[in-house]
Amino acid sequence: MAYTAEISRSNPSCFLFLIDQSGSMADSFGGDLGKSKADSVADAINRLLQNLVIKCAKSEGVRDYYYVGVVGYGAVVGPAFSGPLAGQELIPISQIANMPARIEERTRKVDDGAGGLVDQRIKFPIWFDPIANGGTPMCQALSIAKRIIENWINQHPDCFPPIVINITDGEATDGDPSFNVEEIKRLSTNDGNVLLFNAHLSSTRANPIEFPDSSTELPDQFARLLFNMSSTLPPYMQDAAKLEGYKITENSRGFVFNADIISVIRFLDIGTRPSNLR
């Protein structure tokens, strides 16, 4: 059965994030004039990495259940980490944990256990700052992604299939990305095909949509294109998503529109996850 390989330090899996850093990302996000799509992308990738690190963190440190890469596409296309991780394509998650560009202090409201809310100071690691420059060479980024994933699969033929998450406003300037996407989705390990999910950040003021099973409710052509390019959620992710209260059918896809894709990290199975841990 596909998508059942255990994810462990001896049989790690791989995450590849593709982030749109093109000039159009300077436009406002979801009709909110105070926030650009580039801000939203930086926020999304920082939080995805943060959540993935925390998922793999144990008392003694971070366990290398995943190797992670980030490919940026805009004026430049290629590995997007800066600092000591610059230029590297896939990095063990423990190195990412220990090498953010900087760590900020933020405050968040948390339940005080007695019906109220209290402020809690937390450390917030930053790996990426907003960038919006140049065209949207998504096809080129997907072609780099294919090469990185192919290499990974050659070295890890039995691993849980790699997951590629593309965060974009969907407006590729170097052609139709569908062909490149299909090539990536055809790659497989002995445990199933590579999964490719899309997070669409749009300037359109429209309600967020998470893991839809058809494109009929989607507001524009770019959203429909990205939906069509997204893998169907495998059964184990469907089950995890249902447990979290998402409306999921067997045709639900790994696609979100103007919404948070971080829940995908929670759907990953590396062991017991208490249902009261959010």
Partner 1 sequence: MTITAQITQLWSEKFGNTQEEYEDAFAPQISGEVSQDTISIAVADGATESSFAGEWARMLTNAFVSKPFLTTDKLKTLTGELSKEWNETIANKELPWYAEEKVLSGAFSTLIGIHLLTYRNYGSIGSWSAIAIGDSCLFQIRNDKLVYKFPIDNSSQFNDSPLLLSSNLSLNSQLWEEVKIQEKAFWLLEDVFILATDAISKWFLSKYENGEKPWDMLLKFTMLEQPNESFKEWINELRKSSELKNDDVTVVIIKMKSISKSPIQSTEKGKS
> Judged by CB under 8 A, which of 37, 55, 146, 200 binds partner 1?
55
Does 76 engage in binding with partner 1 (CB under 8 A)?
Answer: no
Closer residue to partner 1 in complex, CB, 54/76: 54
Does 9 engage in binding with partner 1 (CB under 8 A)?
Answer: yes
Residues near 108 by Cβ (< 8 Å), separated by ≥ 6? 119, 120, 122
Does 214 engage in binding with partner 1 (CB under 8 A)?
Answer: no
Distance CA(133)–CA(110), nearest Å, equals 37
- Closest distance of CB 234 from partner 1, Å: 15
Does 233 engage in binding with partner 1 (CB under 8 A)?
Answer: no
Does 273 engage in binding with partner 1 (CB under 8 A)?
Answer: yes
Number of residues that bind partner 1 (CB under 8 A): 38
Per DSSP, the three-state class of 117 is strand
Does 274 engage in binding with partner 1 (CB under 8 A)?
Answer: yes
Residues 152-191 that bind partner 1 (CB under 8 A): none
Residues near 268 by Cβ (< 8 Å), separated by ≥ 6? 7, 55
Does 122 engage in binding with partner 1 (CB under 8 A)?
Answer: yes
Please, is 260 exposed, middle or buried when counting C-beta atoms within 10 Å of its C-beta (0-12, 13-18, 19+)? middle
Closer residue to partner 1 in complex, CB, 69/100: 100
Both structure tokens of 249: 């059918």
Closer residue to partner 1 in complex, CB, 4/133: 4
- What is the enclosing helix (H) or strand (E) of 38? helix 37-56
Distance CA(58)–CA(65), nearest Å, equals 12
Angle at 159 (CA atoms; ends 41, 273), nearest 5 degrees: 65
Options 36-44, 67-75, 116-124, 136-144: segment touching partner 1 (CB under 8 A): 116-124
Helices of type H across 106-176: 138-155
Both structure tokens of 187: 């790659």
> Judged by CB under 8 A, which of 31, 32, 109, 112 binds partner 1?
112
The answer to whether the beta carbons of residues 203 and 235 sit under 8 Å apart is no
In the complex, the residues that contact partner 1 under the rule CB under 8 A are 6, 8-10, 50, 53-55, 57-62, 97-98, 100, 103, 110-113, 120, 122-123, 125, 240, 243, 269-278
